[in-house]
Amino acid sequence: MGKVLAALLFIGGPMAIMQVLYRIVDRKGVKTAKLVEKFPILKRRKFIIQILIPMLFIVLFGIISVLCNIPLYAFFIVCGAFVGIINGLAVTIMYTS
């Protein structure tokens, strides 16, 4: 039970913080709109990108962390922060659409 609580804390906390920071930095969606203009696939496939990119990152970073003996809490924090950034991007795209 303690490991599950630690995982939720170390993943959920950074994820929420990064998503809020993304929305604060790009409140009106201007920077995200410029990014979507450069990469229109972000708007067309936003749900796939919101699911597929974090999943691939977690798997690849998980393999790297196991091979390099990175502590589990560091893995949780980095993955939570990355997923928070991707979710912040996806939420901003949805708000500006």
Tokens of 68: 């390099």
Res. 56: pLDDT tops 90: yes
71 band by pLDDT with thresholds 50, 70 and 90: very high
- Kindly tell me the burial class for residue 7, based on how many C-beta atoms sit within 10 Å of its own C-beta (0-12, 13-18, 19 or more): middle
* pLDDT of 6: 80
* pLDDT of 80: 93
pLDDT tens-digit readout, 2-52: 778 887 888 888 999 998 999 899 888 899 889 889 988 888 887 788 888
Task: List the domain range (segments joined by +) for residue 21.
Answer: 2-96
Res. 66: pLDDT tops 80: yes
* pLDDT of 40: 87
* pLDDT of 5: 84
H or E element that contains 26? none
> How does DSSP assign 49-84, residue by residue?
HHHHHHHHHHHHHHHHHHHTT--HHHHHHHHHHHHH
Q: What torsion, rounded to 10 degrees, do the Cα atoms 89, 66, 4, 20 define? A: -20
